[in-house]
A and B are shown apart, each in its own frame.
Chain A
């Protein structure tokens, strides 16, 4: 039995690879599936172009995986294509190196005429030159859901709200783990333990008895209403802040920043940085000031510098590493996977599971690059043909109907990421109390007022960090509905200073696209 810690892209990718090779696996996840960085990223399926100059290994991996994922996970990829836009003539030297890098790595690209660029991207850009690249959009929650469903179909297990609390070794070899779940603590036997805990990997490696040191950095992203661009847009220059915009379902996301942090929990977005990031976006998209911001969110990168010592997170490679702890001072049978990107999760899993197979002494070849991930059940994300059930629309922004909500299991947050209710421009102003009502009808033990309050807090965190422009009006409306119409008990909006500095412990399942 293999135990995988963490149900993000890396952990689920590993579990999928294991079950395809016929190895039994249980994934344990302390929160919900995707409540770590994999639910809080930018949504870009990299073509490798971003790293063509600075990080050739990551670039090559990305390009390889870009092609694989478009084949095996098409249901979770919106193949929009992308552009690299050179905004200033002064970036010529970088542009020349970039084109060399692209040719060396064989990543296809072509120059786009400036006259057709705004038609192609849907927005007028400050462009001196532009190039088309095979970037695409990765729907993170969708792909995690597909992985989880397919893992379960082949007998793998994914236990949520279950935390790794200890590792049992015997004679220097992993024998089992101690977990804390909804029913308290228990032991589980394990021949192999895989640490895929993303930014928490250093905490998990400490439990293994061989602490790794990660170089954590967080990134800030802003979500804008109405999918104002049709393709990915990147700025052609040395990777920096605020230089990528990704269309994602009905919204567009501007990102990101790269700021070193000590804690793996995603921090509250500081309003000053939100303002700065938005202003940076203007360099590439002058009209962005008139876009409607919906919310801000952050994610923490689990970067691994190895022995390299640098204080600038952008200098740390986006490459990944599989660590067999017995080659250091750790026990046998314990592995950690660190670094990497969402785009390269499958490759990371392949390398890791190759090592695990060798350790178990039974090598079977990897098949994840060939077996497509198909939705096994009726697909909630597809338009549903008329059928019995509650046809009332509860979330008007995202057109979510009663029967879609009623079909959901798990926590309210699961309902949200599974149906997308409350994710539109009104951010739950009109539908949060409705969805919580349905949730409490389905789960009679739950308390309406506390569920609603918790949900409001979660939504409000991202909203208040971006309560600028029209979004400030939206927030004012939400307050009036909550306190004057529905009579909810008063919460003073927190000081921006408090929320900027104090990561809240219960905030892991913050929003992500």
Chain B
């Protein structure tokens, strides 16, 4: 059996990982980076009542993802919890890397902003945090570091802090402030604390200040998602999964075709192509909405359709082709805040449609041992 996964977003990466763990031959092809770098990588569940699997199945899938990430070196916290946005809202999430602040029961906080980093949490957002947690945070803005200029993006900040000079700049300023903040209050820093050495730096600062230290996520590009993406792709490469760059134009008679003429055979194809945002669904200038790979029309936007449903139009199973992630019809993580659950459920469903049921594997020898954990 040969498989091709189209798309390098979270759905494609997960599908390719599961196939690899089950000893299937799989190629991963994508036109661009998926959405991983656009958000912090926390996986939301939304309202469990609305989800299509039973509690035990969910438990297995979530645990699987957290162990998979663990095997890449990404430690996580699993379970319902709140995380903080850079504009002060507390947001429900379910699987969260431990570098990011995330707790079922938010208490008093020490929040730091960096001058010159536009998405740093600002003073006007403190009242929202106080209203939600019942505690007024201690807030400070650190002055711009030497050498800063207006071209510094979040990625540049992170590489600065990855270096000794940047880490020292940060530690010195924090040590001066530390005595003014009550003991035990966790410190929250903008999510630019390194791209590579994040865990190490956060632990080091934590030891210095004798308090827990976390990041709060910024908007985009997002270092949290980039770290996961980089580790995930490296994990796949190490295990021999070919990551191919290219744009798929057609899947016909069990062959994948790319726009540059390359083509190969595939018995099963997973379309993890991301829907409208990912490019797997095109809204043409004439208002026709179509699947990018099969060119099947999903609908036509007219004065009668609403926009709400258009963002829920999508693909399902179609012979040896199955859709997963945001490409799958019926899901709307913007409305339902269940992006992570959508990834897990649809990848499971698509693999199953194509003949691989990852939930029944344990009976045949134990999922986790099979998966190599």
Q: Which residue of A lies closest to B339 (CB)?
A: A484
What is the interface size of chain A, counting residues whose CB is below 8 A from a CB of the partner?
49
Expressed in whole angstroms, the Cα–Cα distance for A480 and B276 within the complex equals 12
Is B276 a contact partner of A497 (Cβ separation < 8 A)?
no
Q: A272-B302, A279-B286, A441-B124 are in contact. Are A480 and B39 (CB under 8 A)?
A: yes
Is B118 a contact partner of A401 (Cβ separation < 8 A)?
no
Q: Which residue of A lies closest to B279 (CB)?
A: A473
Expressed in whole angstroms, the Cα–Cα distance for A270 and B287 within the complex equals 12
* CB-contact partner of A469 in B125, B285, B308, under 8 A: B285
The 0/1 profile, CB within 8 Å of A marked 1, for residues 299-342 of chain B is 00111111110010000000000000000000001110101000
Expressed in whole angstroms, the Cα–Cα distance for A271 and B303 within the complex equals 6
The 0/1 profile, CB within 8 Å of B marked 1, for residues 488-501 of chain A is 10101111111010
Is B303 a contact partner of A270 (Cβ separation < 8 A)?
yes
Is A486 a contact partner of B219 (Cβ separation < 8 A)?
yes
Q: Closest approach, in angstroms, between the C-beta of B103 and any C-beta of chain A?
A: 16
* CB-contact partner of A275 in B219, B276, B279, B287, under 8 A: B287
* CB-contact partner of B277 in A477, A485, A494, A500, under 8 A: A477
Expressed in whole angstroms, the Cα–Cα distance for A272 and B303 within the complex equals 6
Is B275 a contact partner of A476 (Cβ separation < 8 A)?
yes
Q: Which residue of A lies closest to B91 (CB)?
A: A487
Is A392 a contact partner of B116 (Cβ separation < 8 A)?
yes
Is B304 a contact partner of A485 (Cβ separation < 8 A)?
no
Q: Closest approach, in angstroms, between the C-beta of B92 and any C-beta of chain A?
A: 9
Expressed in whole angstroms, the Cα–Cα distance for A91 and B129 within the complex equals 66
Q: A441-B124, A492-B308 are in contact. Are A472 and B276 (CB under 8 A)?
A: yes
Residues of A within 8 A of B119 (CB): 434
Is B44 a contact partner of A271 (Cβ separation < 8 A)?
no
Q: Which residue of B lies closest to A471 (CB)?
A: B283
Is B150 a contact partner of A391 (Cβ separation < 8 A)?
yes
B63 within 8 A of A: no
Is A468 a contact partner of B39 (Cβ separation < 8 A)?
no
* CB-contact partner of B306 in A469, A477, A496, under 8 A: A496
Expressed in whole angstroms, the Cα–Cα distance for A479 and B301 within the complex equals 18
* CB-contact partner of A494 in B90, B91, B302, B306, under 8 A: B306
Residues of B within 8 A of A401 (CB): 150
Is B304 a contact partner of A496 (Cβ separation < 8 A)?
yes
Is B44 a contact partner of A484 (Cβ separation < 8 A)?
yes
Q: A437-B87, A464-B307 are in contact. Are A484 and B337 (CB under 8 A)?
A: yes
Is B39 a contact partner of A485 (Cβ separation < 8 A)?
yes
A481 within 8 A of B: yes
Q: A392-B116, A476-B275 are in contact. Are A484 and B333 (CB under 8 A)?
A: yes
* CB-contact partner of A467 in B128, B306, B307, under 8 A: B307
Is B307 a contact partner of A485 (Cβ separation < 8 A)?
no
Residues of A within 8 A of B339 (CB): 484
Q: Which of A448-489 contact B (CB under 8 A)?
A: 448-449, 464, 467-469, 472-473, 476-477, 479-488
A and B contact pairs by CB, cutoff 8 A, 9 listed: A437-B87, A468-B301, A473-B276, A483-B334, A484-B337, A485-B39, A487-B90, A487-B91, A495-B308
16 additional contacts (CB under 8 A) given A448-B124, A486-B87: A270-B303, A271-B303, A272-B302, A272-B303, A434-B119, A437-B125, A472-B276, A473-B276, A480-B35, A484-B44, A484-B333, A485-B40, A485-B220, A490-B334, A495-B308, A497-B305
Q: What residues of chain A have their CB less than 8 Å away from a CB belonging to chain B?
A: 270-272, 275, 278-279, 289, 293, 390-394, 401, 430, 433-434, 437, 440-441, 448-449, 464, 467-469, 472-473, 476-477, 479-488, 490, 492-498, 500
